[in-house]
Each structure stands twice: as C-alpha cells, then as structure tokens.
Chain A
Amino acid sequence: MKCARYCSILLFFFCVISLAATTIILVPWGDATQQGRGRIIGDSFERTISWKIATEVQQHLRNTHPHVAVLISRQPGDVLEPWATAQYANHTQADCAFVLGCYPQNNTVLSCDLYMYRAKGNNRIKTQQPLRFLRCDQAYQLAGEKTHSIAQCCAESLRTNKTLQIHGPFSLPCTPLCGFAVPAVHCEWGLPHEESWRSCVMPLVDALKSVILLCRDR
C-alpha cells in the first residue's frame, strides 16, 4: 500500500517536472532602436503591435497552461545586441521560439505567413560533433527536423480557423531567425485594419497549445 502511494507521488512529481520543462519564447519584432515597419495602426510601429500580441498570448497561456513557461524576449525600451535573442533562447534551451512580426495590408482578410530559417548555398553540416564552432547561419541545422514539425503543426492549427489566410511555412534565410539552435518559427501577420491585432491572439494561442502538446509528446 505504502509502495503504491510513493509510486503515485513520484509519478505526480515526474509529470509536474516534465510539464514544467516546456518553455516557449515569444520574440516581438524590434527593440528600442529598431521600430520595424512604420505606422501600421495609427501611429504604432511593428515593435509595439508585436509586443502587444506577445503579452496577450502570454496572459492567455499563463491562465490555461500554468505549467508552461512562456517568456517574452524583451520589454518596451530594451535595447538588444545583435544575436542577443538567439543566445537567450539557446541558453535557456527553449522548446520553441516564435518571432512575431506584422505588416499592414490592403486585403480585408487577416493573414499569417510562417517562415523557418534555411541558409542559401551549400553549407550543410557534415557531422554532428558535440563540440564545434558553428556559423550563425548554420545553427538552425541543430534543430532542423523539430523546427519543421513545429512549423507544420502550427500551420495546421491555424488553418482550422477559416477566417484566416495562412501562407507557408516557407524556408528562407530570414534575418530574425538567424542564430537560433532551438526550433524557431517566424509568424508574420498581415493586418487589414486598426483592431486586427486582437484577432491574431486566439488563433496564435490555439496554435501554441498544439505546439505545447507536440513538445510534450517528444
């Protein structure tokens, strides 16, 4: 009887530890020095809108998934060094990083474009040795398959929402994703009007929930 109780307690702690191990980093585009695309909504720039989306998503996930660590890479006013976000994600060994961006569009439908990093040119890593220096544009290869499955999972979840237009995931040398050794996906939202950014939040939360399930299954 005692043994069964200890086993159940151990099982509970194991579950808690394994659930808490999921870490997601939300990376709003830009910083105090880089404002991004200009005047998307009224006088707001891309950095402001993407930060608003990130904080809303973080709030929702904290309420529904308290065991998941959802981090935001910067606060308003922060100045980031080049590669600081990628280093932060790599050091924390996050399960996934989502770079959030947005742009104004004339189309009336809210759209989301998904991107993964892929270097151009023939610079594939031949062997996966434990200790070696990698160029920043080769780091993505350490999490290549995971990134692909997470991006696909995210795209499938977003496609269930019929009010959205989803493009991708595309592979390209995307500047904000350079240097990430953990799975990283760039979500770029096409915003048709002023309050559209609020409509991005719930589809993104649902997509992240499916990504959390995918990460937990691994």
Chain B
Amino acid sequence: MSRSVISFLITTMLCFCGGILFYFVSHQYVIIFKKTGSLQTCIVQNSDQSSKKTIFLWALTSQGWRQEKESVIWTQDESECLHTVIAHFLRWYHDEIADIKQARLVSVALTLSKELIISCDRVPFVKNSSLAYKLFFIESLLKTIHENCPSPHSLLFLVNNTLYHDPHIELNRPWRVTDYSHF
C-alpha cells in the first residue's frame, strides 16, 4: 500500500470521526462544557448575597397582634426583599386572617427618600368592610414591613400604579411606616 493511499485513508477516517462528533454535538448527544469566567463570577456573587432568612408576618386583630414566621430567600436588593415580604404577607393575610380579596403585587419601588411605593392589581378590601377592618389591614402591613425591612420611612399604596381614593380611609397620602398600634 502506497504512502499516499495510507494518508488518504487516515484523512478520511479523521473526517468521518469529525463528522460524527459534529453530529453528536449538534444533536446534544455530547455536551461540551465551556469554562467561562463571567459565569463563575456570577455564581460566586450570588452565593455571597443570597441567604435563607426567617421573616415575621404580623396581623392586627380585635384580640391583638398575631405573628407568623416564614422562611424566604433574602438578597442584597432591598426592593426585591420588600417585594418578597409583601407578597408573603398578602397571601398569608388572605388565607388565614381576614376575608380580603386576593390582590397581586404588581410593583414595589423604594425611592431615594426611602418612601416605599407598592402597587397591587386590585383593592384588597371587600366592599362592605368596616373602617376598623381596613385599618387593621394597613397597620398589619406597616408593622410587617417595619419589622423586616427597617429602612423605608413611609408607604404609599397604589392600585394599578395610580392613586387610590378610598371613601373611608385616606390611602392617597403616604403613611409613616411606624404608625401602627404599639400594644
């Protein structure tokens, strides 16, 4: 066998193996791991910033304050943490405390002046509810926010990102976060 034939066969074999390998990779029979610096950095940063934390949810009832513990993932992003706390609070309050409408949290923003603005997709109050019922809900929300994230100074409640004018309680002005019953 001449040398040229041998080299032709070797080239053919290499091309055949290369083709098979390309076929396997393109059909994801074989996965080639790429070591990228940015992905690793991102994972390291996240593992530093995220942690498991126990938050306390508060509800004011006619018998006094009621407390509930829940475990959540806590990050360095304060708005995200506030979003988590408020979403947990709304679900818990709806399920276990009072007959409120299931409101979904649309957005949460913390301004530079530490005013917390939260927006829900609907008003959580039932139409025939008493003023005390509305007050209890607002105070419960304020205490839950203040106990878990102390930095916001005031809270403005929006519905679908617009000011909400309630006929009984003024929700169109910000509420100081510490303005809940201290008993």
| Residues of A in contact with B (beta carbons under 8 Å apart) | 34, 36-38, 40, 101, 103-105, 113, 115, 119-122, 137, 167-168, 170, 172-176, 178, 186, 188, 190
Contact = CB atoms under 8 A, between A and B. Distances in A.
Given A121-B173, A190-B130, 10 more contacts: A34-B167, A37-B128, A38-B128, A119-B173, A120-B175, A120-B176, A172-B135, A174-B131, A174-B169, A188-B131
Given A37-B127, A167-B132, A186-B131, A172 B176 contact: no
Given A105-B130, A121-B154, A167-B132, A175 B166 contact: yes
B96 interface: no
A121 B156 CA distance: 11
Interface string B140-179: 0000000000000010000000000111111001111001
Contacts of B154: 121
B129 interface: yes
Interface of B: 62, 127-132, 135, 154, 165-170, 173-176, 179
A113 B131 contact: yes
A174 B176 contact: no
A121 B167 contact: no
Contacts of B135: 170, 172
A36 B167 CA distance: 8
B173 A175 contact: no
Contacts of A188: 130-132
B167 A103 contact: no
Contacts of B168: 101, 174-176
A89 B160 CA distance: 36
A188 B133 CA distance: 12
A175 B174 CA distance: 14
24 contacts: A36-B167, A37-B127, A101-B131, A113-B130, A113-B131, A113-B132, A115-B131, A119-B173, A120-B173, A120-B176, A121-B154, A121-B173, A121-B175, A121-B176, A168-B132, A170-B132, A172-B131, A173-B169, A174-B169, A175-B165, A175-B170, A188-B130, A188-B131, A190-B130
Given A34-B167, A175-B169, A176-B168, A120 B131 contact: no
